[in-house]
Amino acid sequence: MQSPPRKEGGFGNRQENKGNRVNILYIYPHPDDESFGPAQVMSFQKRQGHEVHLLTLTRGGATKQRHKYGYSIEEMGRIRHREMLSVAEALGLSGMRVLDLPDSALKEMDPREIERIVERQIESVQPQVVVTYPVHGISGFHDHLVTHSVVKRVFTAMKERCLWLKRLAFVTLREEDALKSPHFKLSGSTPEEIDCIVTAEECDVRSNLNALDCYATFQDTIEKTGIKGMVGLQAVFEIFQENHTPPLVDLFEGL
């Protein structure tokens, strides 16, 4: 069996939910997934007084970007981890943990092992809401698909015994926005599939852009994708086994 993953960063001491404050845990496979995703909403939720945590399963060291700098996978992983520490500060996260599972090789792992690891992390935070990729992974990358499957499986099993676990959401794109991507083939969700649309504020968009700036080794990719010009006030979500028409305006609505 593979040795336990090294843990970097930390969630800190879990705080009990008080009043309208909610714990939310975002789970992604790679560094920068959060900043190419709903980072503006993460910033907004934190400013609203919620506990916003980020779990990243790998250090992202296997990225092809490492060849540009002549780094090994391990060296690139260490650098990307340092970049993520700056991201946590830029977004004002309540806590962050970066694991060291094999980047671009989650599909080769026993999924039960990943499930056990994710379950321990969820137990540590005790979030009311968990967020990860949708079933199509947006980009279709296999690490995204594995993460979706694992998190959904763990959430479903844990919800039966953990009363504090309330909702699983999948950050996605509107179908029409996915089709506009000039560089990548992306997948999105139909209007009927979108259950929540969260609107942040301009200062949160700036925090998202600042988070993208933290990834110094990825600036050419960030420029090539034009992601900075795509960061807006809104992020859209599907909610597992829920159907909301019209969509909710808050991931915590109705909990």
Token representation of residue 243: 């159907």
Helix (H, G, I), strand (E, B) or coil at 116: helix
Q: Which pair of structure tokens corresponds to residue 109? A: 């792992």
pLDDT given at position 63: 94
Integer Cα distance of 25 and 29 in angstroms: 13
Distance CA 117, CA 180 (A): 36
Position 203 scores a pLDDT of 98
3-state secondary structure of 137: coil
Which tokens is 99 given? 């694991």
Q: What is the pLDDT of residues 54-93, one digit of tens each?
A: 999 999 999 999 999 999 999 999 999 999 999 999 999 9
Domain span holding position 28: 8-239
pLDDT at 168 (0 to 100): 99
Structural domain includes residue 120: yes
Contacting residues for 208 by C-beta, under 8 A, at least 6 apart: 35, 39, 40, 43, 91, 231
Alpha carbon distance 107, 39 (integer Å): 26
Q: Is residue 136 part of a domain?
A: yes
Domain contains 249: no
The mean pLDDT of 182-205, rounded to a whole number, is: 95
- Residue range 195-248, pLDDT digits in tens: 999 999 999 999 999 999 999 999 999 999 899 999 999 999 999 999 999 999
State pLDDT tens for residues 104-156: 999 999 999 999 999 999 999 999 999 999 999 999 999 999 999 999 999 99
> Helix (H, G, I), strand (E, B), or coil: what is residue 10?
strand
What residues have CB less than 8 Å from 182, skipping those under 6 apart?
Answer: 226
Average confidence (pLDDT) over 15-27: 76
Global pTM?
Answer: 0.93
- pLDDT at position 189 over 50: yes
Q: pLDDT grade, residue 181 (50/70/90)?
A: confident
What average pLDDT does the segment 44-48 reach? 98
| 251 within a domain of the structure (yes/no) | no
CA torsion sign for 222, 143, 102, 128 is positive
Domains contained in the chain, number? 1
Amino acid at 17: N
> In the numeric block, which tokens belong to residue 249?
């305006």
pLDDT confidence bin for 17, thresholds 50/70/90: very low
Residue 134, H or E segment? none
3-state secondary structure 74-108: HHHHHHHHHHHHHHHHHHCCCEEEEEEECCCCHHH
Q: Is residue 3 part of a domain?
A: no
**Contact indicator for 44, 91 with CB cutoff of 8 Å:** no
> Domain with 209 in it: what CATH number?
3.40.50.10320
Q: Tell me the C-alpha distance between 217 and 66, whole Å.
A: 8
- How do strand 8-10 and strand 167-172 relate by DSSP bridges? unpaired
pLDDT of residue 14: 44
Q: Report pLDDT for 12.
A: 52
| pLDDT on residue 237 | 98
Q: Is residue 255 part of a domain?
A: no
- Residue 204 lies inside a defined structural domain of this protein: yes
Answer yes or no: is 79 within a domain.
yes
The token duo for 60 is: 């992202």
Q: Which helix (H) or strand (E) holds 27?
A: strand 23-28
How far is 59 from 57, CA to CA, in rounded Å? 7
